Amino acid sequence: MLAFIISQLAGLIRSILVARAFGAGAELSAFFAANRVSETLFTLLAGGVLSSAFIPTFTTVLTKNDRESAWRLASAVANLIIVILGAVAAVAAVFAPQISRYLLVPGFANDPVLLKLTVDLLRIQLGSVVIFALGGLIMGILNAHQVFLIPALTPAMYQIGLIFGVLVLAPRMGIYGLAYGVIIGSILYLLLQVPTLIKHGARYSATFGRNDVSVAEVMRLMGPRIFGAAIVQLNFWVNILLGSQMPDKGSVAALSYGFALMMMAEGAIAQSIAIAAMPTLSAQYALGKLDDLRISLSTSLRGVILLALPAATGLILLRLPIVALLFQRGEFTAYSTQLVAWALLWYAAGLVFHSVLEVLARAYYAMHDTRTPVLVGATAMGINVGLSFAFVALFNKIGWMPHGGLALANTLATALETTTLVILMRKRLDGIKGRDLLKGAGAAILGTLGMSTAIVLWLMYMQPYPAALTALGGVAIGGMIYLLVMILLRVPEIQLLFQAILRKFTNK
């Protein structure tokens, strides 16, 4: 979690620098739109899809102490990634003009300069797809070996590449410098993990695993997950498509900033817990220890809820001073702050659901079940697309900034998806220690109520004061109140945390 926080801070610094250099205007919207293509390819054929299929299979082979077969599996998957993703990226580069004009940003069609910029940025960033995919595979290998620190720091390496792009390259190359920063970041993302991979005895084989049962299992698990990921990515494409047609061409950038801020909290809270839990859940399932799996899942979900609920509430209440503190300088104006804060309001409302989903989905993957979360997720994201069109129209009708409707659609669809998966998991495991989860949620609600009261009073008092003081003071006061309530309620997680810190510093 500490490594994730470091990575999120690096991402925050990158966002601040990008906001200062490019604001939240049309040029940056073109960059985010172009980035969506490489992000989609990475997600569909690698990334979370590959990890959800690869880690359970690789872990199963490792539990049999068959390391030769495990490394042969990893080599085959790596070779398939290079060939398939390389070919798809090349095709996407050739047809970049058509992809941009008809599928990605049709709203830019009346601005040839902006459309050409999107095409150029798309082609540059496609070079990162294979590199990121190999990095994602190595991350899965290391996680299966219970190595989490180095993989969790890799996103920080990517952010360093972007920071180099905006500070060193952008002054001479403009927004193109940021695109080349993506390539540099992807290389750092990969290289950081290589020494640790070698340390764990990595062996490469020139094979595609045509007759390998484990490779076939990875492909089987990936099939449904690719479909589910495609539906999720479709939602992002719809957001960009609708955002590009809004009167304010900065809407796409505002949505990207708002979603990124929400995901920073989600990454530090849920992804760290979920990634650390998945190899354990996979091993417990492989060994048939379902009671242990139930306890591990319940414990992980409790921790997520206790952290995500106050984080979501804090982002909602302090959205304006937080956005102003982080971004409002240079090309990022007060109006840009309003745009981003509006998107953050509706995205933050779904932080708890996103966080619970992060852990829950990995529990299904650990049980070699990609079909259930994919079917549920596909249904939810289909609803998301429909709600996106409906809420944009509704927000326009009542005079609200329409891009907020896209964020609200995402929140409601994620809530539906998470609720459904919880119900199905309870039936599958004959319960997930619901009483413990309710106790944790009750404590989180009480703490959040106390925290919210303090923050609202703080905001009323701090109206004439600078955003920096308002935001930092609100976060500090809210955090202290929440922690105090947790201590008074004797929440077990807090006691365990204090004990762990004490052991760390006393070496006991």
The beta-carbon contacts of 419-424 under 8 Å, at least 24 apart in sequence, are: 419/353, 420/376, 420/380, 421/357, 421/360, 421/361, 421/364, 421/372, 421/373, 421/376, 422/356, 422/360, 424/372, 424/376
* Alpha-helical runs (H) found in 95-174: 96-98, 112-125, 129-144, 149-164, 170-173
pLDDT at position 162: 95
CA 320 to CA 348: how far, in whole Å?
Answer: 13
Question: Would you place residue 493 in the very low, low, confident or very high pLDDT band (cuts 50, 70, 90)?
Answer: confident
Maximum Cα–Cα distance across the chain:
70
Q: Render pLDDT for 77-91 as a digit per residue (tens, 0 to 9).
A: 999 989 998 999 999
Does 128 fall in a domain? yes
**Structural tokens at position 236:** 């992002």
pLDDT at position 49: 55
Checking if the pLDDT of 248 tops 80, the result is: no
CA 440 to CA 429: how far, in whole Å?
Answer: 20
- Compare 235 and 399 and report the one with higher pLDDT: 399
Does 302 fall in a domain? no
Checking if the pLDDT of 508 tops 70, the result is: no
Mean pLDDT for 65-81 is 88
Question: Please, are residues 70 and 47 in contact by the beta-carbon 8 Å criterion?
Answer: no
> In the block, which residue shows the tokens 């610094």?
13
pLDDT at position 368: 81
Does 464 fall in a domain? no
Mean pLDDT for 382-399 is 93
Residue 463 CB neighbours (<10 A)? 7
CA 365 to CA 56: how far, in whole Å?
Answer: 7
Does 366 fall in a domain? no
pLDDT at position 421: 95
Question: Would you place residue 3 in the very low, low, confident or very high pLDDT band (cuts 50, 70, 90)?
Answer: confident
Question: Would you place residue 170 in the very low, low, confident or very high pLDDT band (cuts 50, 70, 90)?
Answer: very high
Does 241 fall in a domain? no
> Which of the listed ranges 65-74, 353-362, 499-508 does the model predict with the highest average pLDDT?
353-362
Checking if the pLDDT of 417 tops 90, the result is: yes
**145-149, 195-199, 480-484: least confident range:** 145-149
Range of the domain at 104: 26-224
CA 357 to CA 54: how far, in whole Å?
Answer: 19
**Structural tokens at position 47:** 């990334």
CA 189 to CA 409: how far, in whole Å?
Answer: 32
pLDDT at position 401: 93
pLDDT at position 24: 76
pLDDT at position 268: 80
Cα 257 to Cα 251, 263, 343, 344, distances in angstroms: 10, 10, 8, 8
Does 164 fall in a domain? yes
Where do the DSSP E strands lie in 335-410? Answer: none
Q: Is the pTM of this model over 0.85?
A: no
CA 11 to CA 5: how far, in whole Å?
Answer: 10
Does 151 fall in a domain? yes
- What angle (nearest 5°) sits at the alpha carbon of residue 379, between those of residues 377 and 381? 65
Does 211 fall in a domain? yes
Nearest partner of 59 among 169, 253, 221, 224, judged by Cα: 221
Q: How many domains does the chain have?
A: 1
Mean pLDDT for 49-68 is 78
Please give the mean pLDDT across all residues of the chain: 88
